[in-house]
Amino acid sequence: MNTLMDVKKVNDNFFAEDARIVAKKLLGRYLVRQYDGRVLIGRIVETESYIGSIDKACHAYGGKKTPKILPLYMQGGVSYIYSIYGMYYCFNTITGEEDDAQGVLIRAVEPVMGIEEMSINRFNKEFSELTSKELLNLTSGPSKLCIALKLDKNLNKHSLLSDELFIGEKENESYDFDIIECKRIGIDYAEEAKDFLWRYYIKGNKFISIKDKIDK
**38, 68, 157, 206: which one contacts DNA (CB under 7 A)?**
68
**116, 185, 194, 212: which one contacts DNA (CB under 7 A)?**
185
- The residue ranges of DSSP E strands in 4-58, in sequence order, are 7-9, 30-35, 38-51
| Residues 145-184 within binding reach of DNA (CB under 7 A) | none
* Contact flag: residue 187 with DNA (CB under 7 A): yes
- CB-CB contact of 180 with 214 (8 Å): yes
Q: Rank residues 66 and 172 by Cβ distance to DNA and give the closer one.
A: 66
> DSSP letter at 84?
E
Q: Judged by CB under 7 A, how many residues of this single chain contact DNA? A: 34
Q: Rank residues 14 and 50 by Cβ distance to DNA and give the closer one.
A: 50
DSSP string, 92-159: EEE-SSTT--EEEEEEEEEEEE-HHHHHHHHHSS-GGG--HHHHHTSSSSHHHHHHHTT--GGGTT-B
The contact pattern for DNA, residues 71-110, with x = CB under 7 A and - = no contact, is -x-------x-xxxxxxx-x-x----------x-x-----
* Contact flag: residue 143 with DNA (CB under 7 A): yes
Q: Rank residues 95 and 202 by Cβ distance to DNA and give the closer one.
A: 95
Closest contact distance (angstroms) between CB of 18 and DNA is 15
Q: Which stretch binds DNA (CB under 7 A): 22-30, 32-40, 66-74, 170-178?
A: 66-74
Q: What is the distance between the alpha carbons of residues 107 and 164, in angstroms, rounded to a whole number?
A: 20
Distances (CA, A) of 200 to 18, 74, 146, 163, 211: 14, 23, 19, 27, 11
CA angle 5, 6, 8 (to 5 degrees): 125
- CB-CB contact of 105 with 50 (8 Å): yes
Q: What is the distance between the alpha carbons of residues 103 and 20, in angstroms, rounded to a whole number?
A: 9
| Residues 36-65 within binding reach of DNA (CB under 7 A) | 48, 50, 57-59, 64
* Contact flag: residue 67 with DNA (CB under 7 A): yes
Instruction: For residue 111, list its beta bridge partners.
Output: 42
* Contact flag: residue 208 with DNA (CB under 7 A): no
Closest contact distance (angstroms) between CB of 120 and DNA is 14
- List of residues contacting DNA (CB under 7 A): 48, 50, 57-59, 64, 66-69, 72, 80, 82-88, 90, 92, 103, 105, 122, 137, 141-144, 185-187, 189, 209
